[in-house]
Amino acid sequence: MMDFAQNHSREDATFLGFPLHGFGLFTSLLLVLATGFFTFFASTTLAIFALLGWNLVGHHAVNYADSYLFVGFPAGLVALLVAFVVFGRLWLRAKGHKARS
């Protein structure tokens, strides 16, 4: 009975609505790219609006292209690497679980 409860809870585990099991290789890579893509554009948007406020309030002339290079690109790369590790581990764990079953 205890074994059923442990397997049942492992299969139903989710994170932000995403199931934490059963990702294939293509799905994992697609989620990695989507995470990096979303993080790049979200952080770039926030950086552009922050520079807009900085330029308007302080009468500065900071180039908006700096938000892509110094905020969006590094944030996208970090998110891409973190997502690759997370979804790679989930994919390897699913492959190991299938091999044991």
Phi first, then psi: give them for residue 14, nearest 5 degrees: -135, 160
- Alpha-carbon gap, residue 101 to 99, rounded angstroms: 6
Nearest to 80 by CA among 32, 48, 40: 32
Q: What pLDDT, on a 0 to 100 scale, did the predictor assign at position 101? A: 65
Under DSSP, is residue 14 helix (H, G, I), strand (E, B) or coil? strand
65, two tokens: 């292209």
Under DSSP, is residue 19 helix (H, G, I), strand (E, B) or coil? strand
Q: Using 50, 70 and 90 to split pLDDT, how confident is the model at 85?
A: very high
Residue pair 71/47 in contact by the 8 Å Cβ criterion: yes
Q: What pLDDT, on a 0 to 100 scale, did the predictor assign at position 12? A: 62
Q: Taking the model in full, what pTM does it have?
A: 0.75
Strands (E), the chain: 14-15, 18-19
Which of 7-11, 52-56, 70-74, 91-95 shows the lowest per-residue confidence on average (mean pLDDT)? 7-11
